[in-house]
Chains A and B, each alone.
Chain A
Amino acid sequence: MSRALGPFAAVLGRDLLLAWRGRADVLVTLAFFVVVVCLFPFGVGAEPNQLRAIAPGVLWVAALLSTLLSLHRLFAQDHADGTLEQLLLTPEPTVLWVVAKICAHWIATGLPLLIVAPGLALLFDVEQGALGVLVLSLALGTPILALLGAVGAALTLGLRGGGMLLALLVLPLFVPVLIFGAGAVDAYLSGSGAQAHLLLLGGGLLGSLALAPLACAAALRIAVE
């Protein structure tokens, strides 16, 4: 067991270190999130009731788009410099370090979104009680986006126009997450309680944690072949 944890910890630590050294990229993703959210009032008007109504959806769509924007970075560098080949030749199961990479990616790109989301929600005058639900829904939902997105990123690795293709592949898969994520906040605000939505998101997280790394590992093997 400890033998298997070694590579997991090595990949997680290295990717976090890389994210820290390349923190400009991380900040760009975060800035994108903020800018997209701030664009909506200009598009739909500054009527407070309307803004309050669309806030959960806006925040969730923006989180989804910024996740999408960062996905191509997940394997691209390792693919280009040969690290991916070396990782595929490690004796331990491929899914292990795939999960480590996705974890590190989520900590670098998903976690910052959770931190700034409540502040942005206040710009839309969202009731303060709903902020916790918003953060919780993002905490459960964005890892699913990262897991599903990793499969798409692995499949489109090294392809011309890979970014666009990646969006086409994964956006339909993101729809259920968007529905339950934004729906959780809406449900809380309408008084019916967000528990069902959050439970479904949690179930989705477990399901994608079990299946997506397998598909991702298979896709990576195909990509280097």
Chain B
Amino acid sequence: MPRSGSVGHLEIDSVSRSFGSLRAVNAVSLDIAAGEFIAFLGPSGCGKTTLLRIIAGFEAADSGRLTLDGRVLAGLPPNRRDVGMVFQNLALFPHLTVAENVAFGLELRRKGTAEIARQVEEALALVALDGLAGRRIQQLSGGQRQRVALARALVLHPAVLLLDEPLSALDLKLRRQLQGELKALQRRTGTTFVFVTHDQEEALSMADRVAVFNRGGLEQFDTPQALYGRPATRFVAEFVGDANIRSAAQLAPLGLSLPAGSLLVIRPEDCVVGTAAAAAPVRIDGVVEAVDFVGPHARLRVAPDGMPAGTTEPWLALLPGAALDGLAPGARATLGFDPARAAQLPASQIRGGA
């Protein structure tokens, strides 16, 4: 049930919100295109949920501007924003059946009985829940409840659907399955999705673009590839995936010169260990500290040999499982990498930190 035309263009213009002395959301600006799947990513307390609640109308912004398809949202109550929401705990109505939950919003819009029945059926089919219309919420599994919450929101064709960590309560396997379904559903309906999560893998795998938050501020808003490959800040580099982050001073003994104060971000999978390291442009000799073998790949921690103080931070490397080749804790090994594949953080953009 795609909406005609392009609706769901959400503009967030330097929105701020404080609770007492805490700056929960600090001058955040985001331009979200119609039909985009956006993830808000950050640790708990970073302001992502507060921003979501401001968009929904449950919190008011202290300053800044929110527009949806050109309409200013400030002052509009939640029921008049054309915004849908899936809550973290789903907030399904326990006194209503599945069908009654989905029909809730339609009834408030005073649609005819036949029309409501048709749309409820359509929405339940969309989330593959046909046949469960008469069930009570308490009789459903976690995954089924998830789908009822989605159907209840999507049946109203909102311009934007907000999702507040809706998968966080599910076990990993179900979570992966629903992530895929959610993404497919978003493609099919063409609705703008804003998905809040603290799980970076979830954010990267699902979203068209990811907004990374830290301490109320927006760190970076970019595609998953750009976020991972070219992190804008040290916080993003550390929060999104693993990284070896080294300063100019730490790299100087290796023969690498960086502008003073800047950092180099070397992803573990760009490191090689053992015989393969012989050909790498930069090489570090050391001792293998730890090996985590997880099947397709293995994570290694290599402690470099005594070098000038402050440079002996262990290095992380991610190798194909088959390349482990006898590397065990305590073994001597050489780790190498190609600085051309590493991202550089200029001094001016180094802020935050985990």
Bound together? no
Interface, chain B (partner A; CB < 8 A): none
Interface, chain A (partner B; CB < 8 A): none
